[in-house]
A and B are shown apart, each in its own frame.
Chain A
Amino acid sequence: MRSLSSKVLWTLILTSCFSSFSWALGEKEAASVFAQAVNAYHGADYREAVDLNERLLLKDFVSPAVYYNLGNSYLKSGRLGKSLVNYLRASRLTPRDSDLRANLVFARSQVENYNSWPRNSVFALVQKFWSAEELQWIAFGAFVVAGTFLLVALYAGLRRKRVMIGMGILGVVALYLLGAVIFQVVDRSGQAVCVERVEARFEPSAQATAYFKIPEGTEIKVLREKERWFKVERSDGKVGWVPIKSVERI
């Protein structure tokens, strides 16, 4: 039994070492592909730049710069919808990047009849400043601080009034941040962009009556999926069915 446990342990350690080693090797290769994509963009070969950046994503290598450059390359090759998808993906990772914000605003200005989604939730505020990962760490930190404060205060015998005030403030902050994390997880699950001009229909069928049009680059919400159709909602609240191939989730 003991020897079996040590075998499992060794297998895990070796697998982990091998995985790290292969990831490090792959990272070098990915950096090289990225540089090739940059060169292609410099030479105005935007299609090549798109292909190279997409290859990185296929190999599971992700970074804000890859999404950003891919967005630029798509925009230069006239694919507005694809460009917006990648800008929005980059925005999730680095929401404070001013270059990215500028390009996102520009790309949205090219969308026909662009209407932004109303952001009424108080939890949406923090999304402008922090990425999902940052927000999760900050929320976790707030919980640790609030919990530790309460325990230390109790063990140290602080006055109850002070403990209540301190705990109240920290608790509200921690709960707000947790709410923001949950909102972000729920909100982003349906976010998508139309990558081609499409007509939303009343039913998930090519023969169904067209209900309304969705220009390329329109940001929509995916409500449900049925066979090869998405049920989507436009920012003005209209709901219709569009083919899956015309929509890309963020």
Chain B
Amino acid sequence: MKKFLINAIFIFMICATALALDISVKATVADNRVAMGSSLQYTITVRGVQDLQPPVLPAFDGFDVRYVGPATRVSVINNSYSVEQAFNYVLVPTKEGKFNVPSVPVTVNGLTLTTEEVPVEVVPAGSPSGASEAASDPQQDIQSRLKLLVTVPRDKAYVGEGVPLTLRLYVNQLSLQDLSFPEIAEQGFQMDPFSDPKQFQDTIQGVDWQVVEFSTVVYPSKAGEMLISPATLRGALLFKNTNQGDQSGGIFDQGFFSNFFSNYQKRQVTITSRAIKLDVLPLPEEGKPADFSGAVGQYDLTVDAAPLKVKSGDPITLRMALTGAGNLKAVKMPVFQESGFKLYDPQIKDDPQGGRKTLEQVIIPTDVKITAIAPVRFSYFDTTTGTYRTIERGPFALEVTAPASGEEFQAVGFAQPSLVSAPETLGRDIVFIKDSPGRFEKRSGRDRQDVVFFILLAVYIQLWAGFLAFYIYRQRLLNDPRFARQVSAARQACRMLQIAGDRLRAGHMKPFYDILESALRDYFVQRLELPPGRTDVATVVQRLKVLRVEEKYITIMEDISAAAEQVRFAGMVMPDDKMRTHLADAQDLVRGVERRVK
């Protein structure tokens, strides 16, 4: 018995020493899978001490073991000193199968601690496994290195009961940035906003995982089997740009010195968890209080009123504070309603983070006979006991005296006479259907309506622009004599050339040339604005040359003038075809000058 006691005390002292020094040992591997022909790093990390001898790994089935060397890390964070020493080994598989790296005893200051067993699977050569094989199937490897787990502490809850929900993102050997908050489709439940994420490290089956934890509370809103739909989380995966430099590394080759100056790229990733089932129980009908308004959880209510000695018409402030665990945002505060008081609208403030909801209401006693403020009741369903509970606070003794004459309180915002009545509840529904169809139209006709509008508008605008242009033209004719002369010149010339044509058909040669020459002379006087005395051919030709009229028109002008002189003064007889040519040339000349001289 004595020996046993001594041993117990000794063991206790050793454990106490380890705890006091915060010494711990763990064994980790880079991955739980390794392919034949490649190797796996195995590390034993001892926290809290340094200058240890490397632990000796016992020989075990499936692997050749080679010790690589130690590494020591010392850190000082917030004046807290910590040290850890890592012993690295290389495990080279000798055959395929599932193996366990056995527990390794590590002696620290006379105390022997052991690592946990680490399972490792050896797969055939060429199979995707571990970091070295990552580049062969990056997508699959990313999925195996990112996990999003949703957990709830229980699988049953009452309607309206808060169920804590924890979302953990596990990341292994990946650099993940720009993490969004998780998204969960709210179907059949309400949900609080997610809390700020916590970050820590966790070792699972000998593999280190970075963990980001989000937490929230969900409140089921209807009974039955509820499915919390999968949560999604978005982030950017940082990986080395394989298009540059040495491409042998792939996404996971992230040695510090080799990659420090390399070019990195971001890839957007979406991580999705599994859905979770929750059995939602209905609230029992038995024992449900009449004033129960749906509050579920555990609550406490405090109520106070002040002052409690007032004159009739003086205001009293009624304060209520509801605290506890539950969906405070959705909980309805107790309603104070009592005859003999004028009531102002309550001011309700939510502080769900602080687990508190408050109400402040001004009430005014209107009768000196009032002796108390009636008790305030709040009923809720207690999920721990599965029963309804009612909290009652009050009554509060009140002393109301009559005010002195002229000191009566005038309440603001109440119509006279003011009777406190329960708020009227109005039904809501749609207005009834129409009995008459009205004027039917073709749906296809309606579709063409826009086109018709724009066509009509375009036609109208064109018409309107035409009228406007005509107005402007008329105004110019009236106000600009030069313009009017120029416009009438061609018209007059055409008329005279028609008369000349008549003479030609009648066989009157001399009058034909007289009219032809006169038509051209008058035309040029008006069109070229020549002085009446300067209408000789030379002047006209000179002006036409200045205006850069084509040479053929100048020749025509000279030809017609010469022919007219020959007929008039030399009595020459012109053949009919020549006269017709001269008439056509004259018309051509007028048209040519009109085109050239604007």
State the A residues within 8 Å of B (CB): 23, 27, 30-31, 34, 38, 41, 57, 60-66, 68-69, 72-73, 75-76, 99, 102-103, 106-107, 109, 132-133, 136, 139-140, 143-144, 147, 150-151, 154-155, 178, 181, 185, 199, 209-210, 213
Contact between chains at A60 and B471 (CB < 8 Å): no
Interface contact B441-A41, CB-CB below 8 Å: no
B417 contacts the other chain (CB 8 A): no
| In the complex, chain A residues whose CB is within 8 Å of the CB of B441 | 61-63
Q: Does B336 contact A (CB under 8 A)?
A: no
Which residue of chain B has its CB nearest to the CB of A73? Answer: B433
CB-contact partner of A107 in B430, B438, B453, under 8 A: B430
Is A31 a contact partner of B437 (Cβ separation < 8 A)? yes
Closest to A64 in B: B438
Number of B residues, CB within 8 Å of A: 32
Q: How far is the CA of A30 from the CA of B439 in the complex (A)?
A: 11
User: Is the pair B453, A136 in contact by a Cβ cutoff of 8 Å?
Assistant: yes
B306 interface residue, CB < 8 Å from A? no
A/B interface sample: 19 pairs, CB < 8 A = A27-B440, A31-B437, A38-B433, A38-B435, A57-B443, A61-B441, A61-B443, A62-B446, A65-B436, A69-B434, A72-B432, A103-B430, A106-B430, A132-B449, A139-B453, A139-B457, A140-B457, A151-B468, A178-B457
Query: B348 at the A/B interface (Cβ < 8 Å)?
Result: no
Contact in complex: A60, B460 (CB < 8 Å): no
B437 touches A106 (CB 8 A): no
Decide if B270 is an interface residue (CB 8 Å cutoff).
Answer: yes
B430 and A155: CB pair below 8 A? Answer: no
Q: A72-B430, A143-B457, A185-B450 are known contacts. Are A63 and B438 too (CB-CB below 8 A)?
A: yes
Which residues of the partner chain A approach B439 to less than 8 Å between Cβ atoms? 63
Ranked 8 nearest A-B pairs via Cβ: A99-B431, A34-B437, A147-B464, A65-B434, A136-B453, A62-B443, A69-B433, A103-B430
Q: Which label, helix, strand, loop or mixed, suits the secondary structure of the B interface?
A: mixed
- CB <8 Å contact, B437 and A143: no
Q: Complex: how many Å from CA A151 to CA B456? A: 19
Residues of B within 8 A of A (CB): 185, 232, 270, 428-444, 446, 449-450, 453, 456-457, 460-461, 464, 467-468, 471
| Chain B nearest CB, measured from A194 CB (Å) | 15
Least Cβ–Cβ distance between B215 and chain A, in angstroms: 23
Distance in Å: Cβ of A224 to nearest Cβ of chain B: 20
B440–A154 touching, CB < 8 Å: no
A228 to B438, CA, bound (A): 36
A115 to chain B, nearest CB (A): 16
A residues less than 8 Å from B438 (CB atoms): 63-65
Q: Given known contacts A63-B437, A65-B436, is B232 in contact with A103 (CB within 8 Å)?
A: no
Return B538 CB to nearest CB of chain A, in Å: 46
Q: For B450, list chain A residues within 8 Å (CB).
A: 132, 136, 185
- Chain B residues with CB under 8 A of A143: 457, 460-461
State the CA gap A181–B449 with chains docked (Å). Answer: 12
CA distance A123 to B57 in the complex (A): 81
Shortest CB-to-CB span from A114 to chain B, Å, is: 15
Contacts of B428 in A (CB 8 A): 106, 109
Mostly, the A contact residues are: helix
Report the minimum CB–CB distance from A188 to chain B (whole Å): 10
CA distance A128 to B570 in the complex (A): 90
* 8 Å CB contact of A150 from B446, B449, B456, B468: B468
Instruction: Point out the residues of chain B lying under 8 angstroms from A34, CB to CB.
Output: 437
Q: Which of B431, B435, B436, B456 contacts A140 (CB 8 A)?
A: B456
Given the known inter-chain contacts A140-B453, A209-B232, please indicate yes or no for A65 contacting B464, CB distance below 8 A.
no
A102:B434 contact, CB within 8 angstroms: no
Cβ distance B193 to chain A, nearest Cβ, rounded Å: 15
Select from chain A the residue with minimum beta-carbon distance to B444: A60
A199 to B467, CA, bound (A): 58
Report Cα–Cα, A103/B232, bound state, in Å: 37
Most chain B Cβ neighbours within 10 Å, of A34, A109, A155: A34
Q: In the complex, which of the residues A30, A151, A199 contacts B464, with contact meaning CB atoms closer than 8 Å?
A: A151
Set of chain B residues within 8 Å of A66, measured between Cβ atoms: 437
Q: Considering the chains assembled together, what is the distance between the CA atoms of A185 and B450 in angstroms? A: 8
- Asked if A133 meets B449 with Cβ closer than 8 Å, knowing A61-B440, A62-B442, A72-B430, the reply is yes
Q: A62-B446, A99-B431, A151-B467 are in contact. Are A140 and B437 (CB under 8 A)?
A: no
Q: In the assembled complex, which residues on chain A have CB atoms less than 8 Å from the CB atom of B467? A: 151
Complex CA–CA separation, A30 to B436 (angstroms) = 12
Q: How far is the CB of A173 from chain B (nearest CB, A)?
A: 15
* Residues on the A chain within 8 Å of B468, using CB: 150-151, 154
Alpha-carbon gap, A62 to B447, bound state (A)? 12
Contact B442 A72 (CB under 8 A): no
Decide if A103 touches B471 in the complex (CB within 8 Å): no
B442 closest partner in A (C-beta) = A60
For the complex, give the distance between the alpha carbons of A103 and B428 in Å: 10
- A residues near B444, Cβ cutoff 8 Å: 60
- 9 new A-B contacts at CB < 8 Å, known A23-B442, A147-B464: A30-B437, A31-B440, A62-B442, A63-B440, A99-B434, A133-B449, A140-B457, A147-B460, A154-B471
- Separation of A129 and B206 alpha carbons in the complex (Å): 72
Q: How far is the CA of A76 from the CA of B433 in the complex (A)?
A: 11
CA distance A150 to B444 in the complex (A): 37
Chain A nearest Cβ from B421, distance in angstroms: 26
Chain A proximity of B515: nearest CB distance (Å): 39
Query: What is the bound-complex CA distance between A132 and B446, given in angstroms?
Result: 10
- Select from chain B the residue with minimum beta-carbon distance to A41: B433
How near does chain B come to A200, taking the closest CB pair, in angstroms?
12
Contact between A75 and B430, CB atoms less than 8 A apart: yes
Most buried by A among B232, B439, B441: B441
Query: Contacts of A75 on B, CB cut-off 8 Å?
Result: 430
A147: nearest chain-B partner, CB-CB: B464
Docked CA distance A60–B442 (Å): 5
Q: In the complex, which residue of chain B has the Cβ closest to the Cβ of A42?
A: B433
